[in-house]
Structure 1
Amino acid sequence: MNLNTQKILNFFKKSESKASVLLKDKAKANDTIRDAFGKAVNNKHDLDGVWTKMTLLFGIAKDYVNGDYTEIPKRSIVAILGGLIYFLSPIDIVPDFIPALGFIDDIFILNLVFKQLAKDLEKYKIWKDSQINFIEDVEGTEV
């Protein structure tokens, strides 16, 4: 199958535009993240190669929208939400209902986002791990 990368990138740019608007409405942003996560869980077998990356994208998007983690440039969050919006779209460059191939363009975009934001995501992962360790330390403290 020959993918038209330029078409995919143009579609992704439209998704990023939608993400910029979406960021202004916390409830809708959270709904989008939750919907994308639900779709990912339902199609986990098709997303094996990017599952770990996706869970990191879901986590940072949720923590940013909820105000828990804001140490990331807004353009990076727009790219992440744009990727999730692209992923949510059932009719994109390769429609998701096509068996075995339906998620190939989605995976391409999610990998692209992940690669572009690798440093931001690594900082988030360190922060997230420190939050988990802090909670474990507090819970383990005797009073």
Structure 2
Amino acid sequence: MFETLATSYPKMKTSLETRSFVPGTHNSSLIRRVVNDYHKNKAFVIEASGNCSSFPLHDPMTGPCVPDDAIFVGTSTMGLNLSLRYNTWVIRYSGPSDGKVIFSFSDKECAPLVEEIKGIFNGIAVSTTIIFSSYEASLKNPTVFDVPAGC
């Protein structure tokens, strides 16, 4: 199983597709797609079956790169010959969401590398680590933000 995240700051939307590998092939099949629409403060869960549900979003969309309220943790390096320099930051949440997000970005391009999320977000207990790979600064398929009519 793997996930693909797309973000559009002009549209104020994110899309997270969860897919599973099809055994014996190089293909994958869609399990679900979650579209967060920050203009509407709603998340839409679109299942592969076509069923769709929604729930309210309580937190604002974070901006590109490092949010203004992030606290700097430190700088480090990784990779071949320790050639990738990155910075780590933390954001603490309280209120409807209570927890923290620790994230690392490459220092030159501000490309996301790792994100750790712990706490209660939108009423759900979360403890997860996300490793970003195959980062692209442009969006190839804007339809990932589409929500079926009537959802």
TM over 0.5: no
TM-score (norm 2): 0.25
Query: Structure 1 or 2: larger helix share?
Result: 1
TM-score (norm 1): 0.26
Give the number of the structure with larger relative contact order, counting CA–CA contacts within 8 Å between residues 6 or more apart. Answer: 1
